[in-house]
Amino acid sequence: MLPELILREEELLDYKALAGLSLFSGLIGIWIASNFFSSQASIVAPLIAAVPLVFPLMKFYFEEEENPDFVEETSVYGSIFVGLVAAFFISAIFMPEFFTTQLETTGLTGEATAQNPTFTGVVTHNLTLFISILAVSAVLGSAGAFILALNASMVGVFFAGLVSDLSGLEIILSNQSPLAYLPHTTLEMTGFMIAGVLGTTVSASVYRQHLSWEHWRQLSKLFVVGFFAVVVGAFIETV
């Protein structure tokens, strides 16, 4: 039922409903992982949360592939991402012990927690992730849903950890405030989401043999936008 509801809201472009359904999907995945796979909850939760997303994302992008609207497609991806981030953020606030993997690594969020990160180090790391997400999504298609959920778990747990260490006005005024991470994180996540959208669209295009120059020129424009989002995000992070 949940995949069908997600697909319906994708086709209606109801971004608020998509975020709500993704929040629900994330909480279900976290509940199952924490109750039945507690020793591996941090890894299993994103995978289970992604399962209801595989079918609707693939079907939606296959339907949109011939005449893609990348703003709508990225907005769909982003709405789902926001819902998943909220699920992991809320859960990590109340039971951080289940998210050891996300707490021990910066993962897909780049080198945000590194001491004195350099532009070269951050941009190399994030562009490697950008290309990896693009390649995996293009080859496997449905992998975009799992990458999206894993990425969301990293971001949600990361921000939950920041909020847990602060209180009151400190959350707004501290140089460790989550607000300080929003500009570069937003750009980086946009770049990674574009990589997922682009990879899934490439997968569908190859399957349907849509190989015209004009079609791939449009896809290349999206690649450039995602590439520069990641580069600018790395610059803001290290400036």
Domain count, the chain: 1
Write a three-state SS string for 196-218: HHHHHHHHHHHHCCCCCHHHHHH
Which structural domain, as residue segments, surrounds residue 13? 2-238
- Which amino acid, residue 172? I
- CB atoms near residue 51 (< 10 Å): 18
- This prediction has a pTM of 0.78
Place of tokens 């896809």: 219
Residues 6 or more apart in contact with residue 161 via CB below 8 angstroms: 92, 96, 103
Could you tell me which of 101, 199, 182 has the C-alpha nearest to residue 147?
Answer: 199
- The two counts, helices (H) then strands (E), for the chain are 10, 0
- Cα–Cα distance for residue pair 222/203, rounded to 1 Å: 15
Query: What is the DSSP code string of 13-47?
Result: T-HHHHHHHHHHHHHHHHHHHHHH-GGGHHHHHHH
| CA-based torsion, 83, 31, 93, 50: positive or negative | negative
Mean pLDDT value across the chain: 80
The residue ranking higher by pLDDT, 83 or 164, is: 83
pLDDT, one tens digit per residue, over 172-189 is: 445 555 556 677 778 888
Task: Tell me: pLDDT of 30 over 90.
Answer: yes
Residue type, 113: T
In 77-117, DSSP assigns E strands to none
> Based on the number of CB atoms within 10 Å of its own CB, is 153 exposed (0-12), middle (13-18) or buried (19 or more)?
buried
Q: Tell me the range of 43-47, 107-111, 205-209 where mean pLDDT is highest.
A: 43-47
Is residue 138 classed as helix, strand or coil in its secondary structure?
helix
Per residue in 193-230, pLDDT (tens digit) is: 888 888 878 877 777 777 777 778 888 888 999 999 99
